[in-house]
Amino acid sequence: MGGADRVDGISVGAYPTVRMRRNRRHAWTRRLVAENTLGIDDLIWPIFLMEGEGQSVEIAAMPGARRVTLDKLAAYVEPAVRLGIPALALFPATPAGKKDAEGSESANPKNLICRAARLLKQEFPDLGLIGDVALDPYTDHGHDGVLRGGDVANDETITALVRQALVQADAGIDIIAPSDMMDGRVGAIRAALDAAGHSAICIMSYAAKYASVFYGPFREAVGSVGTLHGNKKTYQMDPANTDEALREVALDLAEGADMIMVKPGMPYLDIVRRVHERFGVPTFAYQVSGEYAMIKAAAGHGWLDGERAMMESLLGFKRAGCAGIMTYFALDAARLLHGGEEAGASFS
Ligand code: PBG
């Protein structure tokens, strides 16, 4: 400490010689000392597909996010490819007529996801495709597996998930992403992929997926909101737990997971941090539909600057240790980043 210790006769103690504010003084010093940056390479864009023709429908609780028919898909996706977004995650809105108790449409080699994957691989061979593996978009009860005695049956569900993973892999999906939370499904899917000659296909495991209210708008988007009976608390994690997340991750890694997903995102950054520190594996987070909806709604009311809230929230994922972020903001964020403004510098 140094300098005067009296101002107008009042003792104020010594002035600081260590001044943290020096490094914050200019936009260029802030850029120079920034510990984390967000880039287009960090973004995964989840998109929703629907049957039919000529349609692109906005999802009510997710302004800006749409459900598109396959004839509109290439045009919808092209801006993301042009900006260099590395990968898309595909989700289907299955018409009620194709849903049943066992979610059998999930294993149809010509289902919406498989047709979309074939089409996208042909149009954009260098674009990564992530296929969600879980039965909920296909079951008439909205659960992620088959129901037996009022609960989701673990091992029977695994058989269905393996079939689903195989048709997706055959259709050109590069990363199989089980989001169902059954025990042992990563090992079973890995073995089946390898046996089918798909040993190069990655598994991104939703190892720590919480039973969360923030999935609400997504359930509207895939059409399971009215159909879901009860809740998913017997298979998705309790939001109270963190040690349990580490056990989930350890098991999935032992079974062969290549990448780990934590979900939801913003309320669970502590989980991202612990997983990344403990295991040092590529750790991703899903900024889910409800998180997107919150920011969009506040921005829509003029209560928040939506663009800055988007960029600050995404940078927060990087700070927590994420290799990348699955977010409905991916295209908007990529557009901003492409404009030459890194998130850390754009608020100067
Ligand atoms: C289910 C699944 C869910 C989401 C992705 N896959 C919701 C659920 O568990 O009910 C939610 C994603 C989001 O809210 O954006 N397999």
Q: How many domains does the chain have?
A: 1
Is 213 domain-assigned? yes
For this structure, is 263 an active site residue? Answer: yes
Is 36 domain-assigned? no
Q: How far is CA 294 from the centre of its chain?
A: 16
Is 99 domain-assigned? yes
Query: Residues 262-300: pLDDT tens digits?
Result: 999 999 999 999 999 999 999 999 999 999 999 999 999
Query: Residues 199-213: pLDDT tens digits?
Result: 999 999 999 999 999
On the CB side of 284, CA atoms within 13 Å amount to 26
Helices 330-338 and 306-320, packing angle to 10 deg: 100
Beta bridge partner(s), residue 7: 10
Residue 8: the pLDDT is 81
Do the Cβ atoms of 324 and 289 come closer than 8 Å? no
CATH code of the domain in which 93 resides? 3.20.20.70
How high is the mean pLDDT of the chain?
A: 94
Residue 302: the pLDDT is 98
pLDDT beneath 70, residues of the chain: 1-4, 340-348
Find the 214 Cα to ligand 1 centroid distance in Å: 9
Find the 331 Cα to ligand 1 centroid distance in Å: 20
Dihedral pair phi/psi, residue 109, rounded to 5°: -65, -10
Residue 277's domain comprises 41-339
Q: Residues 66-88, buried b or exposed e (16+ Cβ, 10 A)?
A: bbbbbebbeebbeebbebebbbb
Q: Which of 47, 59, 62, 136 to mutate to test the pocket of ligand 1 (most atoms within 8 A of CB)?
A: 136
Query: Residues 142-167: pLDDT tens digits?
Result: 999 999 999 999 999 999 999 999 99
Estimate the share of the chain in helix, then strand, then coil, as percent rounded to the nearest 5: 45, 20, 35
Is 211 domain-assigned? yes
The two beta strands, 56-59 and 62-69, are antiparallel
Residue with CA nearest ligand 1 atom 7: 215
Q: Residues 192-223, buried b or exposed e (16+ Cβ, 10 A)?
A: bbeeeebeebbbbbbbbbbebebbebbbbbbb
Residue 1: the pLDDT is 47
- Cα separation, 246 vs 186, in Å, equals 16
Is 7 domain-assigned? no
Q: Which of 62, 143, 144, 206 to mutate to test the pocket of ligand 1 (most atoms within 8 A of CB)?
A: 144
Is 335 domain-assigned? yes
What is the number of residues in the chain?
348
Q: Is the CB of 136 under 6 A from ligand 1?
A: yes
For this structure, is 232 an active site residue? Answer: no
Is 131 domain-assigned? yes
Residue 3: the pLDDT is 61
- Cα separation, 319 vs 316, in Å, equals 5
Find the 344 Cα to ligand 1 centroid distance in Å: 30
Widest CA span in the chain: 83
Residue of 209, 232, 296, 318 marked active site: 209
Q: How far is CA 133 from the centre of its chain?
A: 13
> From start to end of the chain, where are the E strands?
6-7, 10-11, 43-50, 56-59, 62-69, 87-93, 128-133, 147-148, 151-152, 175-178, 202-209, 259-263, 283-287, 324-327
Q: Is the CB of 129 under 6 A from ligand 1?
A: no
Do the Cβ atoms of 161 and 182 come closer than 8 Å? yes
Find the 38 Cα to ligand 1 centroid distance in Å: 24
Residue 222: the pLDDT is 80
Is 19 domain-assigned? no
Atom number, ligand 1, closest to the C-alpha of residue 287: 15
Q: Is the CB of 289 under 6 A from ligand 1?
A: yes
What pTM value is reported for the model?
0.94
Find the 18 Cα to ligand 1 centroid distance in Å: 48
DSSP tag of 20: G
